[in-house]
Structure 1
Amino acid sequence: MDMPPRLAEIIEEFASAPREVVLEMLLEYADAVPPLPEELAGHTGMEQVPECQTPFFLRATVAPDGTVATWFDCPPESPTTRAFAGILAEGLAGATADEVLAVPDDLYQRMGLAGAISPLRVRGGSAILARLKRQIKEAQG
């Protein structure tokens, strides 16, 4: 199974971009994080990602048809971390559990972000993806 097509496009856009514009491209995704639904207000039912320097919360569910729904939250004052959430929100929209689980663990390195942001931020982004995948596996039973 391949990863979600939109996420593959995003990875390619970043990987082929000149290094000097990668950070600018990344920050454009900070606004792509949809607001939380009311039932997740206060991060009820969400998991915190302690590897992130910023308070970051996520939740993933798998519908009976196998599609995944994701929710992310972190402060707007943390645009890089919000951008990770925005990339995942856009790239995984409508994806199946199998497609999400096929996302490479070195996603952010493949995007060329290791040269544009600190290793600590890359590690936080990788932890977000790892926790998301774990929640999906648990939801599948």
Structure 2
Amino acid sequence: MAADTTGLTENLAQVVTDFHELPASERLNLLLEFSTDLPDLPPQYADHPELLEPVPECQSPIFLVVEVEGQGPQAPVSLFFSAPREAPTTRGFAGILHEGLNGATAEQILDTPNDIPGRLALTELVSPLRLRGMAGMLARIKRQTKDKAAL
């Protein structure tokens, strides 16, 4: 089955395509790669974790914050995540969202379909609860983007 990349940023479309091109037995390894590629928090957030928003839908403690440079639909957005290394699935989902959406415009983020977790071809490999956690991350990214870009 072909990957559905409709409405995705170029980077997120590539991530979805990469998952679909792998046999199911290798998809979890790719998810783990994203967990190791998630950047560390910059000092302004590492030193002030209270500035990050928790994502209670996740089974592991994950926090995120969005920075928007300016206002309006074309304002570029930066994403920052705090996820424990002992939670590779959750951290992998954060890594996917970072890879796919970091640097996108506010409009691109707000236009990102909510069904991203289901498009990754992981539904047979990862529990629905974990997929809901990724959906919770995306919902918070969108809300913070909308608020900070004044849209």
Q: Find out whether 1:75 has 2:84 as its counterpart.
A: yes
State the superposition RMSD in angstroms: 1.5
Q: Deviation above 4 Å: which 4+ runs of structure 1?
A: none
Q: How much identity, in percent, do the aligned residues show?
A: 43
C-alpha distance in 2 between matches for 1:15 and 1:105: 18
How many positions carry a matched residue from both structures? 141
Q: Which residue of 1 aligns with 2:3?
A: none
SS of match in other structure, 2:67: strand
C-alpha distance in 2 between matches for 1:89 and 1:57: 13
Q: Find out whether 1:104 has 2:113 as its counterpart.
A: yes
- Structure 1: runs of 5+ lacking an equivalent: none
Q: Which residue of 1 aligns with 2:9?
A: 4
TM-score when scaled to structure 2? 0.88
SS of match in other structure, 1:76: coil
Q: Find out whether 1:44 has 2:50 as its counterpart.
A: yes
Q: How far does residue 103 in structure 1 lie from its aligned partner after superposition?
A: 1.5
More helix by share: 1
Q: Which residue of 1 aligns with 2:32?
A: 27
SS of match in other structure, 1:80: helix
**Residue type of the alignment partner of 2:100:** G
Q: How far does residue 121 in structure 1 lie from its aligned partner after superposition?
A: 0.4
C-alpha distance in 1 between matches for 2:111 and 2:13: 11
C-alpha distance in 2 between matches for 1:15 and 1:74: 25
Q: Find out whether 1:121 has 2:126 as its counterpart.
A: no
Please say if residues 85 and 91 of structure 2, whose CA atoms lie closer than 8 Å, have aligned partners that are also in contact: yes
C-alpha distance in 2 between matches for 1:52 and 1:92: 19
Q: How far does residue 2 in structure 1 lie from its aligned partner after superposition?
A: 4.2
